[in-house]
Chains A and B, each alone.
Chain A
Amino acid sequence: MKSNPILGLGVSLLAASVASSALAATTDSVSRQVRGLNDRLTAYENRFRVNGFATFGAVQSDVEESDDTYHRGINNETNFRRYTKAGIQMSFNMDAKTSVVTQFVARGENDFDVKAEWAYFKHQVNNQLSVKVGRLRKPNYLLSEYFDVGYAMPWTQAPVEVYGVLEDSANYEAIDLTYDFEMGDWTAYTQFQFGRSETATAVSDDLMAFNFSMNNGSLTLRAGYSQADAGLVSGTATAAQVSAINSAFSFTDKADEVVKESNKGTFYGLAVMYDNGSLLAIAEYNSLTVESLFPDQDGYYVMGGYRFGQWMPYLSYAHEETTDDDTRDPTVSPTPAVPDANANGVSDIYEAAIGAQQAFNKEQTRSTVGVRYDYKPGIALKLQYDMIDVGETKGEFAAIPAEDSANIISFTIDTVF
Chain B
Amino acid sequence: MKKSLKSLVAALALTGAAQFANAGVAIVVGANSPLAAAPEGDVVKIFLGKKKDIGGSPVVPIDQAEGNNARNDFYTNVVKKSEAQLKSYWSRLIFTGKGQAPQVVGGDTDVKGMVASNPNLIGYIDAGAVDGTVKVIYKQ
The stretch of B1-9, B18-26, B48-56 in contact with A is B48-56
Interface size of A as a range? 35 or more
**Proximity string of chain B (92-103) to chain A, C-beta cutoff 8 Å, 1 when within and 0 when not:** 101111101001
* B95 and A38 within 8 A (CB): no
* B95 and A89 within 8 A (CB): yes
Taking each of B50, B51, B94, B106, which has the highest tally of chain A beta carbons within 10 Å of its own beta carbon? B94
Count of A-B contacts judged by CB separation below 8 Å: 81
* B95 and A148 within 8 A (CB): yes
* A118 and B88 within 8 A (CB): no
With A35-B117, A38-B105, A377-B83: A149-B41 Cβ-Cβ less than 8 Å: no
**Proximity string of chain B (106-132) to chain A, C-beta cutoff 8 Å, 1 when within and 0 when not:** 100010011001000000000000000
Closest chain A residue to B82, Cβ basis = A277
* B82 and A101 within 8 A (CB): no
* B105 and A146 within 8 A (CB): no
Cα–Cα, bound, A375→B45 (Å): 27
**Proximity string of chain A (110-152) to chain B, C-beta cutoff 8 Å, 1 when within and 0 when not:** 0000000010101000010000100011000000011011011
Tell me which of A45, A89, A217, A377 contacts B103 (CB under 8 A). Answer: A45
Contact partners of A149 in chain B: CB under 8 A:
91-92, 95
Q: Which residues of chain A from 177 to 191 have any CB-CB distance to chain B below 8 Å in the complex?
A: 178, 180, 182, 185, 187
Tell me which of B41, B82, B88, B103 contacts A185 (CB under 8 A). Answer: B41
Asked if A33 is at the interface (CB within 8 A of a chain B CB), the reply is no
| Chain B nearest Cβ from A302, distance in angstroms | 20
* B91 and A101 within 8 A (CB): no
* A146 and B41 within 8 A (CB): no
| Chain A nearest Cβ from B74, distance in angstroms | 15
Closest chain B residue to A118, Cβ basis = B97
| Chain B nearest Cβ from A127, distance in angstroms | 5
Contact partners of A120 in chain B: CB under 8 A:
97
Contact partners of A310 in chain B: CB under 8 A:
84
Can you list 22 A-B contacts with CB-CB less than 8 angstroms, sorted by A residue number? Answer: A38-B113, A38-B114, A39-B114, A39-B117, A42-B105, A87-B95, A91-B100, A118-B97, A122-B97, A127-B58, A137-B96, A146-B95, A151-B88, A151-B91, A187-B45, A187-B51, A277-B81, A376-B84, A377-B83, A377-B86, A378-B84, A378-B87
Known: A31-B113, A39-B114, A120-B97. 16 other contacts (CB 8 A): A103-B95, A132-B97, A145-B95, A146-B91, A148-B95, A149-B91, A149-B95, A151-B87, A152-B91, A152-B92, A187-B51, A277-B81, A277-B85, A310-B84, A377-B66, A377-B82
